[in-house]
Amino acid sequence: MPKVTYIEHNGTEHAVEVPVGLSVMRGAVDNNVPGIDADCGGECACATCHVFVDPAWEARTGTPSEQEASMLSFAATKQDNSRLSCQIEMTAALDGLVVRMPEAQH
């Protein structure tokens, strides 16, 4: 099963196996990884599963949709590599993905 490393804002790392087809958000929530709130449950309707994709992985995780981009534009700590983790679907090609969490989810 492909693995994702979630790094909390304080530096704590969590390496978690996430089944293909699930979202990166779901991988965190199902494994009680702190730092991802996911208030809307994966509908791309809030911005509380915000992550920063490690630059080495940006090309493979793709670019945000229009809806995702507008939700991200309201995230306080948005950067160029910001994504909503509910919109990144796990594939075999993402084995080893590294994402970092912002200071807080809004």
* Residue 27 CA from chain centroid, whole number: 9
Q: How far is the CB of 45 from another protein (least distance, A)?
A: 4
Q: Which residues pair with 89 in a beta bridge?
A: 23
Q: How far is the CB of 72 from another protein (least distance, A)?
A: 11
Q: Which of 85, 97 has the CB closer to another protein?
A: 85
Half-sphere exposure for 28 (CA within 13 Å, toward CB): 31
Contacting residues for 55 by C-beta, under 8 A, at least 6 apart = 81
Q: Which of 16, 40 has the CB closer to another protein?
A: 40
Q: How far is the CB of 24 from another protein (least distance, A)?
A: 18
Q: List residues binding another protein (CB under 8 A).
A: 37, 39-41, 43-46, 48, 67, 70-71, 73-74, 76-77, 102-104, 106
Q: Which of 99, 101 has the CB closer to another protein?
A: 101
Q: Which amino acid is at 79?
A: Q
Structure tokens at 73: 């534009």
